[in-house]
Amino acid sequence: MPKTRLAGLLILILSFAATAAATRDFAAHPAIVELDTKSDVYAIGDTHGDFKALTSALAGAKLIESAGDKPDNLKWTGGDNVLVCTGDILDKGTDALDCIAALRHLQQTGHVIVTMGNHEAEFLADKGKKKKNKKAVTETVKGKKFTDELERSHIDVDAVRGATDSGGIGAWLRDLPIGARVNDSFFSHAGNSHAMTIPALKDAIGSEVSEQGFGAPILQDPDSILQARMHPHPWWEAEEGDVLKRNLKALGVSRIVFGHQPSEVTFAGGMHRVKDAMFADPAGRFVMIDIGMSQGQDGTPPALLRIHQNGDGAAELFEISADGKSTKLSK
């Protein structure tokens, strides 16, 4: 056999092996998880490699005993309460491995749901953004990409990406749900479910990712559930009609909770979200929980969302800061 054909065949085999190693079992690990509970539900946005911010927020909400301990020493004190992390654990900060270890550890004793963010999907798909300006890369990316952190820790990047590393980091990332329905709230990284029902979302995500990997359009398109933007206008204002209402009805929920966007936003009708502020619309139909808390982002004081069902079953929304202060957002 000619060397060129042999080399090409070898590349194909290696490529297939890497894909096979990263294959996800959607029957065992559904794309959308669902849970009903009478307990409080907490949600935290993009922690981006900042272990101190993550644990400070959890301690402020009394979900863990204290902040700053090593990941394996953290103690869940949230009882039956539920914590949802809407992804983007990786990149920007330098402690993503500790953040992952902390969340994996807390999942052993508490009800902790971690959904996938665009940074996790991009890592798995090997779609790291490359900037043309080399100086900018040196100043803003070097040492703050998850791949750099893995290399500093002498962990094989390709093994993690292929879900074959001995620590199980890659398998954990690969098997993260893309969204979660808890009571009457739907959680995902960027929020846009395109008016699909939960069964339809499960089928569509499972099918596309199984065929195309984590670079599939359903995860990576600019208006996807992991990538939808709020600029130049909120994604639900890009189409005619009440897109938000259609999404909520299809999902069977009262609100969507999403991260991904710490920036300033002005909505149709003049409603305004200040940069790095947790924000809920007055009707409580959506909550934005990315507040740029990572030191690799904006270093905003950590906080998370608490959803509490009052006596008549209605949900009340609160922002809980790292010092334990509770501020009501909306009904």
CA distance 52 to 77: 18
- Using the predicted structure, report yes or no on whether residue 307 has a pLDDT greater than 50: yes
CA distance 237 to 36: 30
- The pLDDT of residue 69 is 78
CA distance 98 to 47: 11
- The pLDDT of residue 129 is 46
**22 token code pair:** 């990263």
- The pLDDT of residue 182 is 98
Q: Does residue 19 sit within a domain?
A: no
How large is the average pLDDT for residues 219-248? Answer: 92
Domain that holds residue 53: 31-330
Q: Does residue 15 sit within a domain?
A: no
**How many residues make up the chain in this entry?**
331
Q: Does residue 236 sit within a domain?
A: yes
How many domains does one find in the chain?
A: 1
Report which residue type is found at 51.
Answer: F
- Using the predicted structure, report yes or no on whether residue 331 has a pLDDT greater than 70: no
Exposed, middle or buried, 291 (CB in 10 Å: 0-12/13-18/19+)?
buried
CA distance 232 to 111: 37
Strands 272-273 and 265-266: antiparallel
- The pLDDT of residue 268 is 87
Q: Does residue 89 sit within a domain?
A: yes
- The pLDDT of residue 145 is 94
57 falls in which pLDDT band (50, 70, 90)? Answer: very high
Q: Does residue 24 sit within a domain?
A: no
How large is the average pLDDT for residues 174-200? Answer: 97
Q: pTM for this structure?
A: 0.89
Q: Does residue 9 sit within a domain?
A: no
Q: Does residue 303 sit within a domain?
A: yes
> pLDDT tens digits for 35-54?
999 999 999 999 999 999 99
- The pLDDT of residue 8 is 45
| Domain CATH number, residue 229 | 3.60.21.10
**57 token code pair:** 């927020």
Average pLDDT, the chain: 89
Distances (CA, A) of 289 to 262, 268, 273, 274, 307: 8, 20, 11, 12, 12
**189 token code pair:** 């990284």
Residues 6+ apart with CB under 8 A from 323: 60
How large is the average pLDDT for residues 113-118? Answer: 98
How large is the average pLDDT for residues 170-198? Answer: 97
- Using the predicted structure, report yes or no on whether residue 127 has a pLDDT greater than 70: no
Q: Express as a percent the part of the chain with pLDDT over 90.
A: 78
Q: Express as a percent the part of the chain with pLDDT over 70.
A: 88
- Of these ranges, 109-123, 128-142, 258-272, the one predicted with the greatest mean pLDDT is 109-123
> pLDDT tens digits for 169-180?
999 999 999 999
- The pLDDT of residue 238 is 79
- Using the predicted structure, report yes or no on whether residue 19 has a pLDDT greater than 60: no
Q: Does residue 212 sit within a domain?
A: yes
> pLDDT tens digits for 73-101?
999 999 999 999 999 999 999 999 999 99
142 falls in which pLDDT band (50, 70, 90)? Answer: very low
